[in-house]
Amino acid sequence: MNWISIWAIYKFEMSRTFRTLAQSVVSPVISTVLYFVVFGSAIGSRIESVEGIGYGAFIVPGLIMLTLLQQAVSNASFGIYFPKFIGTIYELLTAPMSFLEIVTGYVGAAATKAVMIALIILVTASFFVELQIAHPVWMVAFLLLTAVSFSLLGFIIGIWARNFEQLQLVPLLMITPLVFLGGAFYSSAMLPPFWAGVTRLNPVLYLISGFRWSFYDIADVPVGISLLAVGVFLSACLGIVWWIFRTGWRIRQ
């Protein structure tokens, strides 16, 4: 493993974040705080608690997960798309680096940014509501696994996209709706049986459920199934990335 090349990619991607600090960090934090104020105040005034948890505190894991997924996908997709756009990706492909080293650099930086923003939002939320973290180790595990998984998805989107419109298509039309319909602001137990069953077809439900369990020891689905869902998704993304570099799809074409 060429750690010097991995560090070079990682350092470059992280430096881009600090050059655009307002866009990279401040903007998503403010957006999430607005979500929290609107949903926590407007809806929370009508729903006192969900499964014994105050509504304001109940939605915090969902808000963190919403931002985590959006940031992981957008950072990773833009990180690999831009070298494609300006043509410098061929320098990466001709360098003495394996595909694993390239992916580790880009995905590692995207996941780091996403987790960093998620932790900032967690600290910010603690000023609004009283939080408890029942399983801190599992909370960190869910954060890292989800950030890496969706950074890999973003990397795939960045390779697939042929223009900036396509780069924004999946996050806008898939990630945000799936999070909103995945129990970010409610428990699936609050839904009628039919719609509760439909919601269980949403893979994001398992991520949010497992993450909320790490906070409050409550979950819509068993935590083991949540971990399995994350593992399957991570494995699938790794397989697709391996195939992309094996065939050169959308890279050498």
Q: What is the predicted pLDDT for the residue at 22?
A: 67
User: What mean pLDDT comes out for the span 246-251?
Assistant: 87
Query: 83-125, pLDDT tens digit by residue?
Result: 988 888 888 888 888 889 999 999 999 999 999 999 988 988 8
Q: What are the structural domain ranges in the chain? A: 3-247
Q: How far apart are CA 237 and CA 30, in angstroms?
A: 30
**28: confidence class by pLDDT, cuts 50, 70, 90:** confident
Q: Are 198 and 88 in contact (CB under 8 A)?
A: no
Residue 253: pLDDT above 60? no
Q: How many CB atoms lie within 10 A of CB 181?
A: 17
Residue 44's pLDDT is what?
A: 67
Torsion of CA 205, 211, 217, 223, to 10 degrees: 60
Q: Would you call 91 exposed, middle or buried from its count of C-beta atoms within 10 A (0-12, 13-18, 19+)? A: exposed
Label residue 20 exposed, middle or buried (CB < 10 Å: 0-12, 13-18, 19+): exposed
What is the band of 175 on the pLDDT scale with cuts at 50, 70, 90? confident
Whether the model pTM is above 0.85: yes
